[in-house]
């Protein structure tokens, strides 16, 4: 199984115009949070209409989670 951060990165890259600029950072603790960083101006592509794209990425990440920790996916505006 691939690392979940790689899956989140792949999903984010498939939505944006500048896939080479997508960076996913992981913060581990009681829950694991994946922060998606994208090229300036492409935040809306990750969010999607009515938040559907980011919600779909969250659903896939939670479905693939094999740990017992909670998983959260957030869009971060700072690198």
Sheet strands side by side (includes 23-27): 23-27, 31-37, 70-76
Assigned CATH topology for domain 4-76:
GMP Synthetase; Chain A, domain 3 (3.30.300)
Sort strands 31-37 and 70-76 into parallel, antiparallel or unpaired.
parallel
Digit-coded pLDDT (tens) for 3-37: 899 999 999 999 999 999 999 999 988 899 999 99
The angle, 0 to 180 degrees and rounded to 10, between the axes of the packed helices 52-64 and 4-13 is 160
Give the global pTM.
Answer: 0.89
Digit-coded pLDDT (tens) for 55-68: 999 999 999 988 88
Helix (H, G, I), strand (E, B) or coil at 70: strand
What residue ranges do the domains of the chain occupy? 4-76
pLDDT at residue 45 above 60?
A: yes
Cα separation, 49 vs 37, whole angstroms: 19
């Amino acid at each position: 199984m691939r690392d979940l951060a790689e899956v989140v990165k792949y999903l984010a890259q498939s939505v944006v115009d500048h896939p080479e600029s997508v960076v996913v950072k992981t913060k581990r603790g009681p829950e694991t949070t994946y922060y998606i960083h994208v090229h300036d101006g492409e935040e809306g592509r990750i969010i999607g209409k009515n938040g559907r794209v980011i919600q779909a990425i969250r659903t896939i990440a939670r479905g693939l989670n094999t740990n017992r920790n909670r998983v959260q996916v957030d869009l971060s505006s700072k690198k």
